[in-house]
Amino acid sequence: MKLAIPLVDLVIVCECGKCCSLIVENQNLLYQILCDLTSQLRGEEGKIILSHNNRVLQISKSLELFSQFVPFELNKKILINKVINRMQKLAMDEEHYYQTNELIILLESYLLDLSVELTGDIEFSKITWENIIKAVGIGFTENYDSLAEKILDYMELVREYDSEKMFITLNLRSYISDDEMNKFVNDVVARGYKLLMVENSEYPIIEHEKRYIIDADKCIIC
């Protein structure tokens, strides 16, 4: 994937075997870049261009920006909805169809038994396998000691349930030690994720890192 930033005539190439970083020392420029990305993530127009194999991608569908790490949540609505949809399809496939219908019949029978002791002719119009799956409160476990491991698992969930995306982190190295960061980047590269780490100051360069720098005068150093 390529990320073109016309504000400074820079094209960042995320290639196999590398993890990209962008150091932006000019505060106003960093603000402009983040505003542009955020607008496009909301479906609005912007100047920054994301592409893959010479085809322009819609940023709102092909990119995620991580600007908050405390807390960092796995259970985002879009992912949970994807899991629910996947489970709903599984519930009615050849392997699970009989068991699903047995469960619905059992639940309806149980509720009818309860309603016998109540006044009125009570019915249950929403006992469907779709509604049962929605009602159980599906979510991913968020018990992590390591922020790096949590981010890696989130990337894997996005790839599995949503699509292949570029991930952009903002000042991630403020939260993760250099040693752990080195392991994190190695894992990112090994799994083939497209990651751009945007920072406002320099940290020691690590293995597999492809670094771009925009200094305070907006000069580009690669």
Whether residue 121 is predicted with pLDDT greater than 90 in this model: the reply is: no
**What pLDDT is stored for residue 171 in this prediction?**
97
Whether residue 15 is predicted with pLDDT greater than 90 in this model: the reply is: no
**What pLDDT is stored for residue 192 in this prediction?**
94
Q: Domain range spanning residue 131? A: 78-136
29-58: average pLDDT = 96
Cβ 182 vs Cβ 206: under 8 Å: yes
Identify whether residues 70 and 115 lie together within a single domain. Answer: no
pTM: 0.89
**What pLDDT is stored for residue 33 in this prediction?**
97
Whether residue 120 is predicted with pLDDT greater than 90 in this model: the reply is: no
Identify whether residues 59 and 169 lie together within a single domain. Answer: yes
Cβ 175 vs Cβ 5: under 8 Å: no
Structure tokens at 203: 């940290």
Whether residue 17 is predicted with pLDDT greater than 90 in this model: the reply is: no
Identify whether residues 66 and 162 lie together within a single domain. Answer: yes
Q: What SS3 class is residue 116?
A: coil
Structure tokens at 30: 């960093």
The mean of the pLDDT values for the chain is: 94
Residues contacting 125, CB < 8 A, separation 6+ = none
Give CA separation, 102 vs 98, 99, 108, 111, in Å.
6, 5, 10, 14
Identify whether residues 149 and 68 lie together within a single domain. Answer: yes
Give CA separation, 56 vs 1, 10, 49, 203, in Å.
10, 16, 7, 32
Identify whether residues 185 and 201 lie together within a single domain. Answer: yes
Q: What SS3 class is residue 3?
A: strand
Residues 135-169 have pLDDT tens digits of 899 999 999 999 999 999 999 999 999 999 999 99
Total domain count, the chain: 2
Closest alpha carbon to 34 in 24, 43, 129: 24
195-222: average pLDDT = 94
Strand partners, 220: 214
The per-residue b/e assignment along 57-80, b for 16 or more CB within 10 angstroms, e otherwise, is bebeebbbbbeebeeeebeeeebb
Identify whether residues 54 and 154 lie together within a single domain. Answer: yes
**What pLDDT is stored for residue 117 in this prediction?**
85
162-182: average pLDDT = 96
